[in-house]
Structure 1
Amino acid sequence: MKKRTPIVALVAACSLAALLAISACAPQEQQAATGTADDQQEQTVQDQTAEETEKDDAAEQDTAPEEPSVQRDPADPPNATVSLSDDSDVSASPLPCSSTMTFEQDDEPMTVTTDAPHPVQYEASGMPALSASGSTRAIARFDEPAIRAEVVRYLESDISEAAAIAGSVHDISASDVIGEVIDSQVTDGTISFNVEGGYRYALEVGFDSGTAIYVFTVAA
Structure 2
Amino acid sequence: MEYNTTRNHLIMKEYGRNIQKMVEFLLTIEDDMDRQRNSMAVIELMGTLNPHLKNVEDFRHKLWDHIFNISGFALKVESPYPIPTKETLKARPERLEYPKKYPRNRHFGKNLEMVIDKAISEENPEKKEGFTQTVANYMKLAYGNWHKESVHDDAIRAELLSITGNQLEYHPGAAPVSSANSTQNFSQGNSNVGNSNNDPFRTSSGKRKNFQQNNKFKSNNSGKGNNNKHNNKFNKNRNK
Task: Answer whether TM exceeds 0.5 for this pair.
Answer: no
Larger strand share, 1 or 2: 1
Q: Which structure is richer in relative contact order (CA contacts within 8 A, separation 6 or more)?
A: 1
> Which TM-score band (shorter chain)?
under 0.3
TM-score by length of 2: 0.22
TM-score by length of 1: 0.23
Larger helix share, 1 or 2: 2
